[in-house]
Structure formats: structure tokens, C-alpha cells
């Protein structure tokens, strides 16, 4: 086989793999939205079948041979440099997946699947009873298996590297440490200034808001953002998420009524940001391929948070939408001024639960988890000492201490699901979003006018051209460089927070 026929064959296999991934995504989406309770066992079997097929397809000898012919190796993971960017991107993705899945023995994958399937109900029980000891042996097992996985994957500098690389290809522990160190210092300083000011009253957000009207309002904003309802849907689920069920089928979910109207609305906008990226990445040229999707979790999170925080929590945004929101909910917002509303949705207050955290404190929750995960992985911290370590760090960074482990170390499902190395992408998303925003402001001088007149589509178009339509062709670092002309710099995010909250809190 020559290079030409090899790349053609790789594309063919790739399209089949994507169809299996779509089907697997539908099984997952359906489980969270429609499936009756009793169907859990059957669905697990269906998912296990699809995941097994996917593993076999991704690690087939045929793919290995094709990657060889195409010149992909550790020194040149994108293969032969004579190929197009798109072809090299495809090779890079398959080379990465092929090697990763080949390196981890099937037995270890199965052991991890067993461990996490036992750990998740144990975590639910432990959280319910505020008793870490019920979860401890399960987490110990998961950490042991994670260390095994690291040994098989190999690493050069830090054992956490192959973990973060799984969710954020190319990112290293050293790089995350560097950017988190800077941003942590800045946020802690900003928080200290905010804490001296009078706290904002946001009690109006906790009133009862009709779900149907919330849904209608959310859809209006999604439409203005450029969400294409011909190619996607919005439904409800317990935890909001976005998933690609097909090349023209991007689904987002939200939830209404908990804990506040604003958290529902911003969930919708957040997931809408993910969806815009997915819809744009499935461009005519890339759709149906492994490259027709977002490049990394951090870049993805940069898009969701850009729309949720930078756009939708801004003065300009509500200059356009507040009148209609107010007229939709006259009992709840009739006597709440636009300014009071904007201050309410931007209230900063250290709190225990990450998912409910505000824009300023959110990243500290992530940095805390990053510090704990790296320590767990390199043996500096034992699972038995984790609750105390958690509480100490909460106190150090946020000045508060959990009253029990359920509002502390037990609050998130990620570790029970074996997701170690995932958390950093959330905060990296904030950093990326602020850096992209800086460039957007320069390249669209009228951006404020567009936002304050509801012409959000102009922002979407810029993002589409700069980020979305590139899909998975270029790495996250390359995209950042292409768009902003420089590598990751946390000062953009710190500067954005500083400027915004100096105004909000009159610091």
C-alpha cells in the first residue's frame, strides 16, 4: 500500500469509528434523559459492547500498519510532512489513541471498569452519610490502578503527565503548575479585596421561576448565539452536558429550578457554547471524521465559559436582554433594577461546592483538586489523609472549612469514575477564554455594540472562523498561538477578573 491509498483507508476506518462513537454517545445521552430506571443493566451491556468494538477498531493491526506507512512515530506523531494539515491531524489523533490504548493491558482496563462501577454507588452512599471511610477503600483501589496505568503509559517528568495528556493532549504538569501558580496568587488577592466590601444581595434569584418560561428564554438566547436547532436539541437532565450524537446532531441539556434561576440559565448558555464549538467543528470538510469535533477539553471549556461568563454575565449582554427577562418574570424581577440584577448574577462569595462557585472562586476549587491529585499520584499524599488535606487547602485558598466531607472531599463524582487528570481542564478553559477574548476585542472593535444589541452572531462568526472550523486539525497550543499570537498566559484571565470585579464591587 502506498501513502495515498493508506490515507484513504485510514479515513474510511476513521469514519466508521466516528459512527460507533456517535452511537455510543446516543446511548449515553439517552441514559441521562429518557431511559427508564430499570434499564441500567441492559444499557451497561450495550455500552460495554460498543466500547469493546471501539477499542478493537482503534487498536487494530490494520491501523498500526497504516500509521507505519504514513510515517507516524514518537518523533513525528503527525506522520509524513508532505501530507495536508488535515491528514496530519488525523494521523496525529489516531497515533495517539492507538498507542495509548495499546499500552494499557485489557486486564487493567477491565479492573478499572470493575473498580469504578463499585466505587460510584459507594461514593453515593458515602456522600449521603457524610462518611469518607465508606469511599476510602474504593478510592485507594482506583489510585493504585491509576498508578499502574501511568507505569504502562510511561512519562518523562511527572507521573501526572500521562493523566492530563489524556484530556488535554500536549499539556504537562509543569505547565499547569506554572499557570495555576500565577492565577492562584492573583485570585486570592482579588478575593481579599472583595471580602472587605459590602456583600451583594441576590435573593431575587432564589424565587420560583416558571420552567416553561425559563426554557423559552434560554432558547431565545441560544438562537441568538447561533445554535442551529436543525442540527441540535435542548432537553433536560439532572446534570447539564453536551454530546455529539451525529455530525449534524449536537445535544445539550440543562436543568431548571436548582439552585437558582440564574444557574439554570447560565447552564444553558454554557452548554450552548460547547454546542457552537461542536457544530462549527463539524464543518462540511471535517464532519463525520475524528477531526470534526473540539480539539481538547480546555479549548472546549474556553468556549462554554466565554459565552457563559464573559458574554452573558456582562453589562452589555443585559443591556439587551434584561427588559425581556423582566417582562417575562414581573413578579420576580419587577422591582429589581438592571444594575442590581447584574450585580446579583456576579456575586462573589467563597463557598464549598465547586459546581455552584462564582467566576472568581471557581478556579481555586480546581487548583485545589490539581494539587491534591498530583500529590496522590506521586505518593506524597495517601488517600487516608485526603479529607484533612482537602479541608486545609480550602481554608488556605478560600478561607472556609467544610463542615463535613460531603461538602468537602466527597462532593464530586470524578474520582469515583476514575477521572483523574480531568479537573485542570476546567480552569485551563477559563485561562484560554480570557486570552481568546483579548484578541477578539482587538479584532472586533464593535464587540460591545454587538453584544448590547443582541447581535451575538457576530461573535459566533469570529469564533467560528478562528477556532470552531479548525476542529481537531491543530493542537490546542497551535490554535491558541494561531488566534492570539502567543502561548498560554494566565495574566489575561487575572486581568479580566481584576477589571470586571473592580467595577462590580467598586474596589
Which residues are catalytic, by number? 271
Nearer to a second copy, 50 or 398 (CB): 50
Nearer to a second copy, 231 or 448 (CB): 231
- Which residues between 341 and 380 bind a second copy (CB under 8 A)? none
- Which residues between 255 and 314 bind a second copy (CB under 8 A)? 288
Among positions 5, 133, 195, 235, the unique one binding a second copy when judged by CB under 8 A: 235
Residue 310 contacts residue 437 (beta carbons within 8 Å) = yes
**Part in contact with a second copy (CB under 8 A); list of ranges 17-25, 134-142, 181-189, 201-209:** 17-25
Q: Is 223 in the site for a second copy (CB under 8 A)?
A: no
- The 8-class DSSP code of residue 456 comes to T
- 391 φψ region: left (φ > 0), alpha (ψ -120 to 50), beta (else): alpha
Query: Which H or E run contains 305?
Result: helix 297-305
Interaction mask 400-429, a second copy, x per CB under 8 A: ------------------------------
Among positions 130, 228, 351, 481, the unique one binding a second copy when judged by CB under 8 A: 228
Give the residues across from 205 on adjacent strands.
none
Nearer to a second copy, 42 or 259 (CB): 42
* Shortest distance (Å) from residue 55 CB to a second copy: 15
Q: What distance in Å separates the CA atoms of residue 312 and residue 145, rounded to the nearest whole number?
A: 41
Nearer to a second copy, 164 or 250 (CB): 250
**Part in contact with a second copy (CB under 8 A); list of ranges 99-107, 124-132, 227-235, 417-425:** 227-235
* Shortest distance (Å) from residue 273 CB to a second copy: 18
Q: What distance in Å separates the CA atoms of residue 454 and residue 323, rounded to the nearest whole number?
A: 12
Q: Is 35 in the site for a second copy (CB under 8 A)?
A: yes
Nearer to a second copy, 52 or 137 (CB): 52
- Residue among 431, 417, 496 at smallest CA distance from 176: 431
* Shortest distance (Å) from residue 285 CB to a second copy: 16
Q: Is 444 in the site for a second copy (CB under 8 A)?
A: no
Q: Is 16 in the site for a second copy (CB under 8 A)?
A: yes
For residue 243, the SS3 value is strand
Nearer to a second copy, 54 or 413 (CB): 54
Nearer to a second copy, 213 or 319 (CB): 213
Nearer to a second copy, 17 or 333 (CB): 17
- Residue among 307, 295, 272 at smallest CA distance from 482: 295
Q: Is 39 in the site for a second copy (CB under 8 A)?
A: yes
**What are the φ/ψ torsions at residue 252 (nearest 5 degrees)?**
-120, 155
Residue 252 contacts residue 268 (beta carbons within 8 Å) = yes
Q: What distance in Å separates the CA atoms of residue 85 and residue 79, rounded to the nearest whole number?
A: 10
Among positions 104, 233, 375, 457, the unique one binding a second copy when judged by CB under 8 A: 233
Residue 75 contacts residue 95 (beta carbons within 8 Å) = no
Q: Is 13 in the site for a second copy (CB under 8 A)?
A: no
Q: What distance in Å separates the CA atoms of residue 426 and residue 366, rounded to the nearest whole number?
A: 7
Q: Is 232 in the site for a second copy (CB under 8 A)?
A: yes
* Shortest distance (Å) from residue 22 CB to a second copy: 6
* Shortest distance (Å) from residue 104 CB to a second copy: 24
**What are the φ/ψ torsions at residue 337 (nearest 5 degrees)?**
-70, 160
**What are the φ/ψ torsions at residue 245 (nearest 5 degrees)?**
-100, -5
- Strands 232-236, 249-254: pairing is parallel
Residue 273 contacts residue 430 (beta carbons within 8 Å) = no
Q: What distance in Å separates the CA atoms of residue 89 and residue 68, rounded to the nearest whole number?
A: 15
**Part in contact with a second copy (CB under 8 A); list of ranges 3-11, 34-42, 58-66, 106-114:** 34-42
In the numeric block, the cell 469515583 is attached to 416
Among positions 5, 42, 207, 401, the unique one binding a second copy when judged by CB under 8 A: 42
User: Which grid coordinates belong to 261?
Assistant: 434561576
Q: What distance in Å separates the CA atoms of residue 398 and residue 206, rounded to the nearest whole number?
A: 24
- Which residues between 239 and 258 bind a second copy (CB under 8 A)? 245-249
* Residues engaged in binding a second copy (CB under 8 A): 16, 19-20, 22-23, 26-27, 30, 34-39, 41-43, 45-46, 49-50, 228-233, 235, 245-249, 288
Amino acid at each position: 500500500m502506498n501513502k495515498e491509498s493508506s490515507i484513504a483507508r485510514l479515513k474510511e476506518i476513521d469514519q466508521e469509528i466516528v459512527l460507533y462513537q456517535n452511537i455510543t454517545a446516543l446511548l449515553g445521552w439517552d441514559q441521562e434523559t429518557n431511559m427508564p430506571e430499570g434499564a441500567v443493566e441492559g444499557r451497561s451491556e450495550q455500552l460495554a459492547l460498543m466500547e469493546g468494538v471501539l477499542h478493537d477498531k482503534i487498536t487494530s493491526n490494520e491501523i498500526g500498519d497504516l500509521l507505519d506507512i504514513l510515517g507516524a512515530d514518537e518523533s513525528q506523531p503527525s506522520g509524513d510532512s508532505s501530507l495536508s494539515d488535515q491528514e496530519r491531524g488525523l494521523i496525529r489523533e489516531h497515533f495517539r489513541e492507538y498507542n495509548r490504548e495499546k499500552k494499557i493491558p485489557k486486564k487493567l482496563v477491565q479492573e478499572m471498569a470493575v473498580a469504578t462501577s463499585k466505587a460510584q454507588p459507594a461514593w453515593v452512599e458515602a456522600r449521603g452519610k457524610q462518611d469518607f471511610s465508606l469511599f476510602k477503600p474504593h478510592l485507594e483501589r482506583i489510585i493504585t490502578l491509576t498508578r499502574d496505568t501511568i507505569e504502562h503509559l510511561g512519562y518523562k517528568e511527572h507521573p501526572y503527565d500521562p493523566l492530563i495528556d489524556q484530556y488535554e493532549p500536549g499539556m504537562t504538569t509543569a505547565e499547569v503548575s506554572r499557570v495555576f501558580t500565577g492565577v492562584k496568587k492573583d485570585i486570592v488577592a482579588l478575593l481579599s479585596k472583595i471580602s472587605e466590601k459590602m456583600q451583594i444581595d441576590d435573593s431575587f434569584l432564589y424565587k420560583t421561576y416558571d420552567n416553561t418560561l425559563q426554557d423559552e428564554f434560554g432558547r431565545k438566547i441560544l438562537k441568538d448565539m447561533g445554535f442551529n436547532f436543525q442540527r441540535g436539541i435542548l432537553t433536560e437532565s439532572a446534570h447539564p452536558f453536551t454530546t455529539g450524537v451525529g455530525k449534524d446532531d449536537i445535544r445539550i441539556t440543562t436543568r431548571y429550578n436548582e439552585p437558582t434561576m440564574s444557574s439554570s440559565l447560565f447552564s444553558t448558555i454554557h452548554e450552548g457554547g460547547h454546542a457552537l464549538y461542536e457544530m462549527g467543528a463539524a464543518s462540511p470538510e471535517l464532519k463525520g471524521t475524528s477531526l470534526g469535533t473540539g480539539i481538547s477539553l480546555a479549548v472546549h471549556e474556553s468556549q462554554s465559559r466565554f459565552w457563559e461568563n464573559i458574554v452573558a454575565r456582562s453589562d452589555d449582554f443585559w443591556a439587551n436582554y434584561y427588559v425581556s427577562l423582566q417582562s417575562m418574570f414581573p413578579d420576580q424581577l419587577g422591582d429589581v433594577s438592571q444594575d442590581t440584577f447584574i450585580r446579583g448574577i456576579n456575586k462573589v462569595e467563597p463557598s464549598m461546592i465547586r459546581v455552584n462557585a462564582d467566576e472568581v472562586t471557581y478556579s481555586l476549587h480546581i487548583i485545589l483538586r490539581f494539587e491534591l491529585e498530583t500529590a496522590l499520584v506521586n505518593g506524597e499524599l495517601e488517600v487516608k489523609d485526603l479529607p484533612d488535606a482537602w479541608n486545609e487547602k480550602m481554608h488556605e485558598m478560600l478561607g472556609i472549612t467544610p463542615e463535613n466531607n460531603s461538602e468537602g472531599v466527597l462532593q464530586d463524582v470524578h474520582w469515583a469514575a476514575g477521572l483523574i487528570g480531568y479537573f485542570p481542564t476546567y480552569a485551563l478553559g477559563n485561562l484560554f477564554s480570557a486570552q481568546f477574548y483579548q484578541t477578539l476585542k482587538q479584532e472586533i472593535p464593535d464587540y460591545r455594540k454587538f453584544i448590547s444589541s443582541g447581535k451575538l452572531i457576530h461573535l459566533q462568526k469570529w469564533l467560528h472562523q478562528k477556532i470552531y472550523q479548525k476542529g481537531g486539525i491543530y493542537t490546542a497550543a497551535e490554535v491558541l498561538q494561531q488566534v492570539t499570537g502567543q502561548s498560554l498566559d494566565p495574566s489575561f484571565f487575572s486581568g479580566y477578573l481584576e477589571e470586571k470585579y473592580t467595577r462590580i464591587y467598586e474596589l
